[in-house]
């Protein structure tokens, strides 16, 4: 199926790129990306992927928009406070680009549902935009077991990090960080604060990795942890070796099915993103 005249115009700045062209734009339109968490990282990632024309975008979140989210979660606007984040996100994307179909998952990822969510649309690439470590390890483990590529990222204060896992092509998150830190041992943005733009910088890098993966161009952040410090303006790529004894992607994995780590105290009545 070819591109319509409107699509040729909408995506003209992509199509003119030798690494994209009409064929590449068609790949993007056929692309399916799942974004877990529509917060500081997921919001900009979802918006840029939607603008780029990723034809199928999945949004996973169970939270509602809070006034304190708006300093960085740019997919949600003032009038969305109180609305489910996935609905707010879906509405923003619909207004941005009619080429995108959004699938929403009104739940928190857990061992019991994450494989079904990923398999629901057989997503090509997964973006981890979550805050807590049980979810980050769960996403890693699910992606390793299902052999799906994903982008990890984290932001706090003036710092961010991101890495990309592609099955068989480098280390997974667990190769670097063996297991989740104890509950409340490592501060979250809510506890420590975060400069709003950090999600924009790092979430947009995650979107970039998703597009490069779909297009099959360039070098992904596989085997590297990219760290960014906004105060010093240092971007650093730290080389990461694959761990042969990794508990999930190593030669003799000891983790062969998903389990839920202790979730942070789930105060569902007073959630603040």
Partner 1 sequence: MKVTVNGQTLELEKPVNIEELLVLAKAEQPEYVTVQKNDEFIKREDFAITTVADGDNIEFLYFMGGGAAWD
Which residues of the chain form contacts with partner 1 (CB under 8 A)? 37-42, 61-63, 73, 85, 108, 128-133, 135-136, 153-156, 159-161, 175-177, 181, 185-190, 194, 198-199, 202-203, 225, 227, 234, 236, 238-241, 243, 264-267, 271-273
Distance between CA atoms of residues 254 and 242, nearest Å: 16
Cβ 9 to partner 1, closest distance in Å? 34
**Long-range contacts, 189-197 (Cβ 8 Å, 24+):** 189/40, 189/131, 189/155, 189/156, 190/131, 190/272, 190/273, 192/156, 192/157, 193/156, 193/157, 194/40, 194/72, 194/155, 194/156, 194/157, 195/157, 195/158, 195/230, 196/40, 196/71, 196/72, 197/72, 197/230
Measured from the CB atom, the residue of 115 and 157 that comes closer to partner 1 is 157
| 57 φ/ψ angles, rounded to the nearest 5 degrees | -125, 130
Cβ 116 to partner 1, closest distance in Å? 18
Cβ 239 to partner 1, closest distance in Å? 5
Measured from the CB atom, the residue of 15 and 126 that comes closer to partner 1 is 126
Cβ 14 to partner 1, closest distance in Å? 27
Measured from the CB atom, the residue of 155 and 211 that comes closer to partner 1 is 155
Measured from the CB atom, the residue of 15 and 175 that comes closer to partner 1 is 175
Question: Any idea which residue has 């969305």 for tokens?
Answer: 80
Distance between CA atoms of residues 212 and 17, nearest Å: 13
Distance between CA atoms of residues 170 and 26, nearest Å: 28
Measured from the CB atom, the residue of 73 and 92 that comes closer to partner 1 is 73
Give the count of beta carbons closer than 10 Å to the beta carbon of residue 5.
Answer: 7
Instruction: Dig out the tokens for 165 from the structure.
Output: 């896992």
Check residue 63 and give left, alpha or beta (phi > 0: left; psi -120 to 50: alpha): beta
Measured from the CB atom, the residue of 177 and 255 that comes closer to partner 1 is 177
Cβ 130 to partner 1, closest distance in Å? 5
Cβ 91 to partner 1, closest distance in Å? 18
């Amino acid at each position: 199926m070819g591109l319509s005249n409107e699509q040729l115009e909408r995506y003209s700045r992509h199509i003119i790129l030798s690494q994209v062209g009409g064929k590449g734009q068609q790949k993007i339109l056929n692309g399916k990306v799942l974004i877990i968490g529509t917060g500081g990282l997921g919001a900009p990632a979802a918006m840029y992927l939607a603008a780029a024309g990723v034809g199928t975008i999945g949004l996973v979140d169970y939270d509602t928009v809070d006034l304190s989210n708006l300093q960085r979660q740019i997919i949600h606007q003032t009038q969305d406070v109180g609305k489910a984040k996935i609905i707010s996100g879906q509405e923003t994307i619909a207004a941005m680009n009619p080429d995108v179909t959004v699938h929403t998952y009104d739940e928190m990822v857990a061992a019991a549902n994450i494989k079904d969510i990923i398999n629901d649309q057989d997503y090509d690439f997964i973006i981890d935009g979550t805050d807590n470590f049980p979810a980050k390890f769960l996403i890693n483990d699910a992606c390793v077991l299902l052999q799906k590529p994903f982008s990890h990222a984290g932001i706090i204060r003036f710092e961010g990090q991101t890495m990309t896992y592609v099955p068989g092509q480098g280390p997974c998150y667990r190769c670097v960080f063996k297991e989740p830190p104890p509950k409340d041992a490592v501060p979250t943005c809510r506890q420590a604060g975060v400069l709003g733009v950090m999600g924009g910088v790092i979430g947009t890098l995650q979107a970039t990795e998703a597009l490069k993966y779909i297009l099959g161009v360039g070098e992904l952040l596989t085997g590297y942890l990219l760290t960014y410090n906004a105060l010093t303006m240092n971007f650093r790529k730290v080389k990461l070796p694959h761990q042969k004894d990794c508990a999930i992607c190593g030669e003799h994995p000891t983790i062969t099915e998903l389990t839920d780590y202790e979730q942070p105290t789930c105060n569902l009545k007073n959630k603040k993103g």
